[in-house]
Amino acid sequence: MNTLAHVMNRFDRTKNITVDTMGESGKTGRNIESEYTVWTSLSDLENGIMLVRGYKDINYTTFSLEQFNQSGKPVFTQINIAKE
C-alpha cells in the first residue's frame, strides 16, 4: 500500500496549479476556476481495507470493512474539514 500511495501522490493536482482565466468552463460568477484533487482513495480488497486522504490531510485515514460489519445504517465520515 505504501508504494501505491507514492504512485498516486504523483497524480495529485494541487489547487490553482492550472486555472481557467478565459471563462471556458462556463459562467459561475467567479473570475478564476481551478481543478484539483479533492481526495485520494486506496483499496486493499484482499484484506478489506480502504485508505482515504482528503485535500487538506497529510496522512491517509484507514478504514476496515470489518469495523462497519455490524453497522445497521450507512456510515459517513467528513473529510476536508478545517481542523482547529
pLDDT tens string 1-44: 778 887 787 778 888 887 776 666 666 555 677 788 888 999 99
What pairs with residue 40 in β-bridges? 53
User: What gap in Å lies between CA 39 and CA 2, rounded to an integer?
Assistant: 17
pTM for the whole structure? 0.66
Please state the domain extents for the chain. Answer: 1-16+32-84
* Reduced 3-state DSSP string for the chain: CHHHHHHHHCCCCCCCCCEECCCCCCCCCCCCEECCCCEEEEEECCCCEEEEEECCCCCCEEEEHHHHCCCCCCCCCCCCCCCC
